[in-house]
Amino acid sequence: MDSKLEAAAKIYDERGFAKRSGYGKHPALLIIDMTKGFTDPASPMGSEVSSQIEAIQVLLKEFRVQGLPIFYTINLYDPDDPGGRLFVAKIPAIEMLAPGTEAVEVDERIAPLAGERVLEKKVPSAFIGTGLEDELKQLGVDTIFITGVSTSACVRASTIDSMSHGYHPIVIRDAVGDRAAGPHENNLFDIDAKFGDVVSLKESMDYLATLATA
């Protein structure tokens, strides 16, 4: 942790931030935008996320063994969507995320199986215009394991909306990534202080093990 984050951590600790909101009893796994446009480091939107993919593979295996809900999102550019137009005004490279292109295909290393939901979104949050909230309610989900990219944008927005909708947001540190270390670490710090619990893969797997033996 750099000196500025250390100073912020001291202030937050003195003022009672960064408590634990904890887990519920019925988790779902949310895999945000792990499509080839984001997982290929050579892509204008991409970054190196091999270690994050390995962590997601571990989570996928356990969620599948236990029959727990799994949701993927893919970010599509729609020039007719007002939010999408504003998003691309900030990041012109988003235009590459056009429907039907390879850039919006889920990375084959963590490809969805039959029955696992793939939701299309046009803005950062997984909750906006996707129907995710309705599906979570129908399944009785109370906890969302949040993985994917990028920490400073879609992961952060989805975490805030998870909390705002009354779910326990659990952000798996090993399974989220960004294009640069600074935004990644700063946003994990802020998420953990205010919106959800940032946990290790091991801690999340320990929790899932309690469900398997319940």
Choose the catalytic residue: 154, 176, 188, 193: 154
Return the pLDDT at 205: 98
**Prediction pTM value:** 0.96
Return the pLDDT at 1: 61
The alpha carbon dihedral of 138, 139, 142, 143 has a sign of: negative
Predicted confidence band of residue 84 (pLDDT cuts 50, 70, 90): confident
Share of the chain above pLDDT 90, in %: 93
Return the pLDDT at 56: 98
| Tokens at 38, concatenated | 């984001």
- Would you call 154 a catalytic residue per the annotation? yes
Calpha distance 35→105 (Å, rounded): 5
Predicted confidence band of residue 213 (pLDDT cuts 50, 70, 90): confident
Predicted confidence band of residue 92 (pLDDT cuts 50, 70, 90): very high
**Which pLDDT tens digit goes with each residue over 30-72?**
999 999 999 999 999 999 999 999 999 999 999 999 999 999 9
- Residues 6 or more apart from 18 whose CB is under 8 A from it? 9, 12, 192, 193, 194
**Which pLDDT tens digit goes with each residue over 145-198?**
999 999 999 999 999 999 999 999 999 999 999 999 999 999 999 999 999 999
Predicted confidence band of residue 201 (pLDDT cuts 50, 70, 90): very high
Domains of the chain: 23-213 (3.40.50.850)
Return the pLDDT at 3: 85
**Which pLDDT tens digit goes with each residue over 118-131?**
999 999 999 999 99
HSE, CB side, 13 Å, CA atoms: give it for residue 148. 33
SS3 string of 25-61? CCEEEEEECCEHHHHCCCCCCCCCCHHHHHHHHHHHH
